[in-house]
């Protein structure tokens, strides 16, 4: 499945050190990373039918997860 939950450093392996550094020093980054983590797991649980959700809800979760990932990438590259 392409929506397996992954840690942020697995999504951006070339930036693992900077991710760890940002999580320790930037509360906003840590909050956004935690949000990405939760959204990633929510998408996975929905796909595995661990939590019944409407297909529209799964689509919305994916969009929110992808937006969070994009925002984190911008912060990592900044």
pLDDT digit string, tens, across residues 42-77 = 888 888 876 667 777 888 999 999 999 999 999 999
Number of folded domains in the chain? 1
Instruction: Assess whether pLDDT exceeds 50 at residue 5.
Output: yes
The least confident of 5-9, 16-20, 48-52 is 48-52
Q: Which domain holds residue 65?
A: 17-77
Residue 7 lies in a domain: no
Q: Is residue 35 part of a domain?
A: yes
Q: Does any domain span residue 72?
A: yes
What DSSP string runs through 17-72?
A: HHHHHHHHH-HHHHHHHHHHHHHHHHHHHHHTTSS---HHHHHHHHHHHHHHHHHH
53 falls within a domain: yes
pLDDT category, 1, cuts 50, 70, 90?
very low
CB-based burial, 5-44: b 16+ in 10 Å, e otherwise? beebbeebeebeeebeebbeeeeebeebbebbbebbebbb
* Inside any domain, residue 67: yes
Residue 9 domain-assigned (yes or no): no
Asked whether residue 8 is domain-assigned, the answer is no
44 domain-assigned: yes
């Amino acid at each position: 499945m392409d929506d397996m939950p992954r840690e942020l450093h697995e999504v951006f392996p070339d930036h693992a050190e900077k991710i760890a550094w940002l999580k320790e020093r930037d509360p906003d980054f840590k909050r956004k990373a935690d949000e990405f983590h939760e959204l990633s797991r929510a998408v996975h649980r929905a796909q595995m039918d661990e939590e019944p959700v409407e297909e529209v809800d799964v689509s919305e979760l994916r969009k929110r997860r992808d937006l969070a990932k994009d925002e984190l990438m911008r912060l990592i590259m900044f």
